[in-house]
Amino acid sequence: MELGIGMFGDLAFDQTTGKYRDAGVKIREILEQVKLMDEVGIDVFAMGEHHRADYAVSSPEMVLAAAASITKNIKLASGVTVLSSSEPVKVYEDFSTLDLISDGRAEVFVGRGSFIESFPLYGYSLNDYEELFDEKLDLLLKINSEENVSWSGKLRAPMQNQTVYPRAKNAGKLSIWRAVGGTPQSVLNAAQLGMPLVVAIIGGMPIQFRNLIEFYKQEYKKAGHDVADMQIAIHSHTFVSNDPEIIEGYFHTYKSQMDRIGSSRGWAPYTKMQYDGGRSKDGALFIGNPAEVAEKIAYMKEIFGITRFIGHMDVGDPAHDSMMKSIELFGKEVKPVVKDL
């Protein structure tokens, strides 16, 4: 099983200045962190896309390309590319270029995204939310499998025997994963298309997703895809420290981000009870010392049969030194224990 780390590029809000932390500083810290991930043996890095003041990264491709130049082995993925408001030709071109820069390490996680700011920003209507994604995914997969593309849809101009270059290293094909938040129809579509699946589990109890993942496995087989090629990942909030005080203190950092997002979505203020419940064996937070985190990841393998776990590690913008230590522990202590378990 592969272990990865995901980030959104969260920016802490300074109550004194009334401003978010400098995005340039944050991006440079991310690159230093990815370099460390590569050095300690993390398998995958996934960089998210947002178009808001409280996140530093609107273009994962740019950050991943920079990361490619300072790493050797780690796979570099978007986490996620908001495909509904993206141009499939450009997505393929950007990631095939990244694939060539990194010598075959690029991946794309495509999803609808949990934020909608990119729709008005790029001139798309939310009335077309579902149809935009379905149509653009169809085109992206066609580009990924065919060098000369003929395609037509309702919301984008048709393509007639047009070529898309450069081609990715592996016979022109990128690894394209379908990222979902738990919608059965999205899981069904991924299974029918034979796409690898990433399930975001950031609240409640992971066991509640067992039926959904079993549904994916059943439909994947029913569609006639080779079970040996099946890949399933989960993506959950993660932070590692050997210091109980740091883990306790991280609650305030975590709460600040959850409340900031929740204020626009009608969520009640995040509580310490939720934090502690999430950190329990049955909860969805992989926050604790290396042994606790490793045990929970191994439990995910047991109940879901996952092939990859991605720990989302920068929620609330923890201090850079704390992030570096968390990454080091994840690679040097969590990963070996997970492998043994």
Tens digits of residue pLDDT in 77-132: 999 999 999 999 999 999 999 999 999 999 999 999 778 899 999 999 999 999 99
**In the prediction, which pLDDT does 264 show?**
85
Q: Is the pLDDT of residue 337 over 90?
A: yes
For the entire predicted model, the pTM comes to: 0.97
Q: Is the pLDDT of residue 283 over 90?
A: yes
In angstroms and rounded to an integer, the radius of gyration of the C-alpha atoms of the chain is 19
Question: Is 153 domain-assigned?
Answer: no
**In the prediction, which pLDDT does 113 show?**
78
Mean of all residue pLDDT scores within the chain:
97
Question: Is 133 domain-assigned?
Answer: no
CATH of the domain at 314: 3.20.20.30
**In the prediction, which pLDDT does 201 show?**
97
What whole-number distance in Å separates Cα of residue 307 and Cα of residue 294?
15
Beta bridge partners of 179: 198
CB 283 within 8 A of CB 201: no
Question: Is 95 domain-assigned?
Answer: yes
Share above pLDDT 90 across residues of the chain, in percent, rounded to a whole number? 96
CB 2 within 8 A of CB 44: yes
Question: Is 76 domain-assigned?
Answer: yes
Pick from 246, 257, 230: nearest CA to 312: 257
**In the prediction, which pLDDT does 257 show?**
94
Counting the structural domains of the chain, the total is 1
Pick from 216, 207, 182: nearest CA to 284: 207
The DSSP secondary-structure symbol of 41 reads T
- What would the mean pLDDT of 246-273 be, rounded to a whole number? 95
Q: Residue 214 is inside which H or E element, if any?
A: helix 210-222
Pick from 107, 180, 25, 288: nearest CA to 10: 25
Beta bridge partners of 244: none
- Centre a 10 Å sphere on the Cβ of residue 14 and count the other Cβ atoms it contains: 10
Question: Is 79 domain-assigned?
Answer: yes
Q: Is the peptide bond before 199 cis (omega within 30 degrees of 0)?
A: no
Which segments of 56-117 does DSSP mark as H helices, in order?
Answer: 60-68, 88-101
**In the prediction, which pLDDT does 114 show?**
79
Question: Is 167 domain-assigned?
Answer: no
What whole-number distance in Å separates Cα of residue 187 and Cα of residue 21?
37
Residue type, 44: V
Summarize pLDDT for 143-202 with one digit per residue, the tens: 999 999 999 999 999 999 999 999 999 999 999 999 999 899 999 999 999 999 999 999
Question: Is 88 domain-assigned?
Answer: yes
Burial label for 86, CB within 10 Å (0-12, 13-18, 19+), is buried
Domain extent for 253: 2-122+173-340
Question: Is 295 domain-assigned?
Answer: yes
Q: At which residue do the structure tokens 């995910």 appear?
A: 300
Summarize pLDDT for 288-325 with one digit per residue, the tens: 999 999 999 999 999 999 999 999 999 999 999 999 99
